[in-house]
Structure 1
Amino acid sequence: MSKQGSCSGKKARFADLVKGVRPLHSDHSNRTEDNTPKPSALPLETMKDHGRVLEESLDTSLEFEDMQPGDSLSFRNDRVRKNAFRKLKKGQYSIGAELDLHGLTIAEAKLALVDFIQSSREKNIRCVRIIHGKGHGSSNRGPKLKPMVNRWLQKREEILAFCSARPVDGGTGAVYVLLKSLN
């Protein structure tokens, strides 16, 4: 059988199969409702934070501070009393939440930190611990996340104070952070 004869035979069979078929009317009555849940809206402040993080992560002018693994971090807002800061340094505040930034890139760490601070404040947590690491895995250029965490925390208005943790809580590879309440 020739190629043309085979093709016309297939066409004839197909025409025979669909001879009683009529087109559907387009009244859309057979459509189902879309009941998939819509994503919840992000709070405006969270969206602003993500925008700032993205903006900062695209900034190529970031320079790493000359910081060594054993260097301590310390910051106190003027609104924090000295005795409250002393108490923070001694680890006398109850840690309400913890964030471990090990293994994250700088951009990932910034997003995680912003989200963590926001969610901690929403839960009325006043003191948290952030583990940034000492930078032993950062080749011989010193720590990468530690100086960035130091800079990020100092820039955030909801941070009242922070300091390196006691050795039992991570030492110079972690910080205690005192958060401003939402009220």
Structure 2
Amino acid sequence: MNQSARDDLDFQALMGDVQPLTRGRGRADTGRGARSPSEAQLARRESAEAELEGHGFLSDDFVDLVPPFDPLEYRRDGIQEGVVDRLRHGGYAAQARLHLLRRPLEECRRSLPPFIHEAYAHDLRSVLIVHGRSQAIDGAPNVLRSYLAKWLREFPEVQAYVSAQPADGGLGATWVMLRKSERAKAANRERQQKRRG
């Protein structure tokens, strides 16, 4: 008898009374029947979903590093250059500020979404984020500044952002223009209709 035949006999001897699962039952039967998740499991699931909703889309994966003396600038399609110029020169008052200077990247990642969402919920349009930058001429790029440039593009509420003027923090701060909420648009339409008569 060859080795393969012996292996088959040994295997059949070990599996003697084992029966295959019946069709349609791909799971092991624990004898408890179908159970719904416990209260603790539901709470953990809700907490995880809330955390993902808050900042799960802000990736801390690879980012192109922005050189320390390059200004940040971004605008969505349809945003006029004049609006960005006015934002750049501090033409809109800072309605809220977020200070991220010398904070760990993960803390900044957690702080940014609630700040943007709350500002938008309160119909704020112009906010300033202070993040810092490298001070040395040949210094390494500021990692937070680079991530911020990437993250802000991921918010649908953000219409544009630009580096601030020296009086407002220079390259270590970024002006952010948020879009109008539907509530603010409706209020604006109502004011315009009243003016027209």
TM-score normalised by the shorter chain: which range applies? 0.5 to 0.7
CA separation in 1, counterparts of 2:65 and 2:151? 16
Task: State percent identity of aligned pairs.
Answer: 28
Aligned counterpart, 1:50: 55
SS in 2 for 1:112: helix
Aligned counterpart, 1:30: none
Aligned counterpart, 1:93: 92
Superposition TM-score, scaled by structure 2 size: 0.61
Aligned counterpart, 1:84: 83
Summarize deviations over 1:122-181 as a string: whole Å, max 9, x none: 1111000001101349xx532110000000011221110000001000000111000012
The answer as to whether partners of 1:130 and 1:175 remain within 8 angstroms in 2 is yes
Deviant stretches of 4+, over 6 Å? none
Larger Rg: 1
SS in 2 for 1:72: coil
State how many pairs are aligned. Answer: 135
Q: Against the structure 1 CA distance between its residues 45 and 123, is the aligned structure 2 distance closer, same or farther, given a 3 Å change threshold?
A: farther
Task: Judging by fraction of residues, say which structure has more helix.
Answer: 2
SS in 1 for 2:64: coil
SS in 1 for 2:161: strand
Structure 2 regions of 5+ residues with no counterpart? 1-45, 183-197
CA separation in 2, counterparts of 1:119 and 1:97? 10
CA RMSD of aligned residues (A): 2.4
Instruction: State the 1:46 CA deviation.
Output: 7.4
Instruction: State the 1:106 CA deviation.
Output: 1.4
Aligned counterpart, 1:176: 175
Instruction: State the 1:49 CA deviation.
Output: 2.5
Structure 1 regions of 5+ residues with no counterpart? 1-40
